[in-house]
Structure 1
Amino acid sequence: MEIAEILAIGMFVVFILLIFTGFPIAWVLGGVAVAFTGLAMLSDIYLDTFIAIDWSYFSLSIERIWGTMSSWVLVAIPMFVFMGQMLDRSGMAEKLMLNVSRLFGRLNGGTAIAVVIIGLLLAASTGIVGASVALLTLLAVPVMLKRQYQPELAVGTVCAVGTLGILMPPSIMLVMMADQLAMSVGDLFMGAVFPSAILGVVFVLYIVFRGWLHPDVAPAGDDAEHVTFGIVFDALKSIVPPALLILAVLGSIFAGIATPTEASGVGAFGATLLALANKRLNITVLREVCRETSQTTAFIFALIIGATAFSLVLRGLGGDAMIEEALAGLPFGPAGVVICILLLTFLLGFVLDWIEISLIILPLVAPVIVSMGYDLVWFTVLFAVCLQTSFLTPPVGFALFYCKGVAPPSIGVKTLYRGVLPFIALQVTVLAIIFIWPNLVTWLPEQAYSGR
């Protein structure tokens, strides 16, 4: 093994080890890149090697960072974050929870079903996992515990449904993936529609089955009302505003009327109007939303800068070629290679966040997938579904931390872990379904193009 390959492997090992020190990931990525540039130069001097990495090579990261910062695709990120933060404070979720839960209150598991429906709407209109999980926990978990729901089912439902925002369009993760792979954001958005909907349907079917098989796990509320026209009307009245906002954002993208960047501005403006209509908009709220948007955007772009430097040095050491050769040399055939990549991604989700995996791993494996003749949109959505599980898998499952932070004191860590296990299994099942039937991802983008 050459010294460059040893250094490339060392970059990954040191990066993963430094994650556990608690240092910001962006600093770790950039710091490791600088450190291994120095090690490559020292090896040239003292070991008489020729790696061709020095400070002039490392300075190329400035040009790459400038190219990233000037990308119009990434402008959609702060707009979608603003949209999510504003909707979080608009009072929309509270009305949805009240009215939709009344609609399903007489069913076993009815409140959990209402959580799934509300979570799907939040996912398609906010796209922020932390906000969705925290909000659903505050609104739904106390209600479900009061109705004698099994605590594991209550918190598992909230955590799993809250993670749909990272996959369902408009997804910040898909925007970043499209930028990294130079793909169409609209194609990824269309490709992710059916997988997101399937996940929601599977969650509902699981809850219905559990409620039917074990009524004591998810009992109907004793105070549940009979469904009347008024209850149905109230539910529809709560659902229509966010549904119209989703239609305005995604509909304009899918119809080719607006780019994702332009549609993100429409979404941000629409969310502000909803907050104003619900009498929740004031200077304090606007200031908080702008501050949270700035912090989240700065966090994401800092990671992009660190990952850009990391990837540059890794490629200079031949890490990308080494990974491509290793994957191409696997004796499992093309399908086996894809499964191995997904398995590695799933395992990395235990220790890495989706942003690091998207910025570092995805660009390295995508060329291998293309060379094998697979559709890149299909694989990217498949990769995104796999990454979604990283929010549920301990110890870095952020959805678990978001839920634990605002859940009632009776909810312990073990309860959270037990609660999410069935939903992780469901997500893996859906992942397998998408793997077996690629048309679930590719059909909608193909239809969009065929109509043009």
Structure 2
Amino acid sequence: MIADFIWPGAMLIALFVALFSGYAVGFALAGIGIIFAVVADVPMVFLSMGVQRIYSGTLTNWLLAAVPLFIFMGLMLESSGIAERLMRSLAALAGRLPGGYAFAVAIIGVIMAASTGIIGASVVLMGMMALPAMRSAGYDMRMATGIVAASGTLGILIPPSIMLIILGDQLRVPIGDLFMGAIYPGLLLAGLYFLYIAVTAIFAPKRMPPPPQGDPAPKLRVVMSLIVDLVAPMLLILSVLGTIIAGVATPTESAAIGAAGATLLALVSGKLSFASLKRAVFDTAKTTGMVAFVMIGATVFSLVFRKLGGDQMIEDLFNFGDVSPYVTLAVVMGLIFILGFFLDWIEISLVVVPIVAPIVANLEFGHGLTPSQITLWFTIALAVNLQTSFLTPPFGYALFYLRGVDTSIPIGTIYRGIVPFVIIQIVALIAVVAFPQLVLHLPGVMQ
């Protein structure tokens, strides 16, 4: 029995060694797959199936065309200056209340998340806007960096999310159902952020003092400015998510609507130029190429891995006998949480998730759920779990984005500041696992 799993086990070891060495992920996945196919004497004609899967599953996949469109939408929205105006309006509305900047950052994080799924752009943008103001107001920088990093990562969960599109493609779950299923968990997570900020503002106001007293603007003018600044992103959100949920447009078509709408907003705001358009197109192509190449490599790796008995090895590994299915689910979630310390969500989504998802889909959780409902529920729980991979050291990307914005902040301060928000995300994950209807209610109602 053990001899049957030597090859797939060796493949996993080789993969982790290659990833931790810093080697390019796409090359590592494809190279390890081909090398083990040769060493294990897999017929070369079998690898031709990989070419077919790459062509039909990635290169001609109409659904994946939404990825570059959503990336472009996010970059153009960043160029429009809407977030900067919202920050000023929300901070002015808070006035002399403790935690005003913190609430403003969290609210903008939700709005940006529902408008774009570009984590790097959101974290960098909010860091550049909020960190100098928070420092001048006397904020505890652990609190400031934690709020900015956590709020900036909401876009990976709240739709439209690139991660949900890729997970849906990998697990064959309708993207519209994933978008609807992610709304309640995303709002729950944002609500927990707000609760934590409110509790801190009440019981430890010195960590989030109000800004220095200046000439207060009339409240009516501030409210009107805030409403005007909210109209454009709200229309963009409704045009993207509304068309998907209503069944008027596919995710790809709605992504095109969003890209066009964000470009129009940048034009109306006077921020659209040839330089900004060139940068957005270049960054879109670069990010899309990276994602597509990892998907191609993952296709080759998984094809050879399954051929060498990898599926059976994983199934036996998670076969705990007569135990609660929640034990199996907890082990899977724990494994993915730990991998998030070291691997990017793309690598986990394309390599690990397709292997463990069928195991969870065949479990009986006692809620009368169908396999398709279990897969939908599991996918959203995964998304909540994978969001922590942006925040958990040592390789949390949001932490390094933030460090790049302000190099004067010690990395240890950023690490300590993110701990409460990682705990909040674990609480949200437990809630999603314990109450499947948080995920399944809205898709069920819409159907």
| Fold match (TM-score > 0.5) | yes
Match of 1:16 in 2: 16
Contact 1:385 1:431 in 2 (8 A): yes
Amino acid in the other structure paired with 1:208:
A
Kindly state the Cα deviation for residue 106 of structure 1 after the two structures are TM-superposed: 2.2
Deviations 1:310-359 (CA, angstroms, capped at 9, x unpaired): 11011011111211222233553211111111000000001111001111
Instruction: Give runs of aligned pairs for residues 204-283 of structure 1, distance below 5 A.
Output: 204-223=194-213, 225=216, 228-283=219-274
Give, in whole Å, the separation in 2 of the partners of 1:30 and 1:292. Answer: 24
Match of 1:175 in 2: 165
Distance verdict in 2 for CA 1:330–1:419, change over 3 Å? farther
Give, in whole Å, the separation in 1 of the partners of 2:197 and 2:322. Answer: 40
Give, in whole Å, the separation in 2 of the partners of 1:132 and 1:209. Answer: 25
Q: 1:164 aligns with which of 147, 154, 161?
A: 154
Unaligned stretches of 5+ residues in structure 2: none
Deviations 1:252-280 (CA, angstroms, capped at 9, x unpaired): 10011111111000000000000001001
Match of 1:399 in 2: 398
Contact 2:320 2:328 in 1 (8 A): no
Match of 2:362 in 1: 371
Contact 1:106 1:226 in 2 (8 A): no
Describe the SS at the equivalent of 2:318.
Answer: helix
Is the aligned partner of 1:56 residue 2:55?
no
Unaligned stretches of 5+ residues in structure 1: 42-52
Instruction: Give runs of aligned pairs for residues 224-373 of structure 1, distance below 5 A.
Output: 225=216, 228-329=219-320, 332-373=323-364
After TM superposition, the structure 1 stretch with the greater mean CA deviation from structure 2, 330-339 or 67-76, is 330-339
Is the aligned partner of 1:38 residue 2:38?
yes
Describe the SS at the equivalent of 1:210.
Answer: helix
Q: 1:91 aligns with which of 75, 81, 100?
A: 81
Amino acid in the other structure paired with 2:201:
G
Amino acid in the other structure paired with 1:356:
E
TM-score by length of 1: 0.95
Is the aligned partner of 1:127 residue 2:126?
no
Amino acid in the other structure paired with 1:420:
I
Match of 1:425 in 2: 423
Kindly state the Cα deviation for residue 2 of structure 1 after the two structures are TM-superposed: 4.3
Kindly state the Cα deviation for residue 211 of structure 1 after the two structures are TM-superposed: 1.3
Give, in whole Å, the separation in 2 of the partners of 1:197 and 1:369. Answer: 25
Give, in whole Å, the separation in 2 of the partners of 1:227 and 1:434. Answer: 42
TM-score by length of 2: 0.96
Match of 1:381 in 2: 380
Deviations 1:354-384 (CA, angstroms, capped at 9, x unpaired): 0011111111111112211451111100011
Give, in whole Å, the separation in 2 of the partners of 1:253 and 1:72. Answer: 15
Amino acid in the other structure paired with 1:137:
G
Deviations 1:378-407 (CA, angstroms, capped at 9, x unpaired): 110001100000000111100001000012
Amino acid in the other structure paired with 1:263:
S
Give, in whole Å, the separation in 2 of the partners of 1:421 and 1:331. Answer: 36
Deviations 1:289-318 (CA, angstroms, capped at 9, x unpaired): 111110010000000000000110110111
Amino acid in the other structure paired with 1:434:
V
After TM superposition, the structure 1 stretch with the greater mean CA deviation from structure 2, 374-383 or 166-175, is 374-383
Q: Name segments (4+ residues, structure 1) moved above 3 Å.
A: 1-4, 224-227
Q: How many pairs align?
A: 437
Identity, in percent, stands at 43
Contact 1:105 1:111 in 2 (8 A): no
After TM superposition, the structure 1 stretch with the greater mean CA deviation from structure 2, 78-87 or 216-225, is 216-225
Distance verdict in 2 for CA 1:94–1:384, change over 3 Å? same
Kindly state the Cα deviation for residue 226 of structure 1 after the two structures are TM-superposed: 6.9
Is the aligned partner of 1:5 residue 2:23?
no
Amino acid in the other structure paired with 2:383:
A
Contact 1:83 1:269 in 2 (8 A): yes
After TM superposition, the structure 1 stretch with the greater mean CA deviation from structure 2, 116-125 or 11-20, is 11-20
Match of 2:432 in 1: 434
Amino acid in the other structure paired with 1:15:
L
Kindly state the Cα deviation for residue 121 of structure 1 after the two structures are TM-superposed: 0.7
Describe the SS at the equivalent of 1:163.
Answer: helix
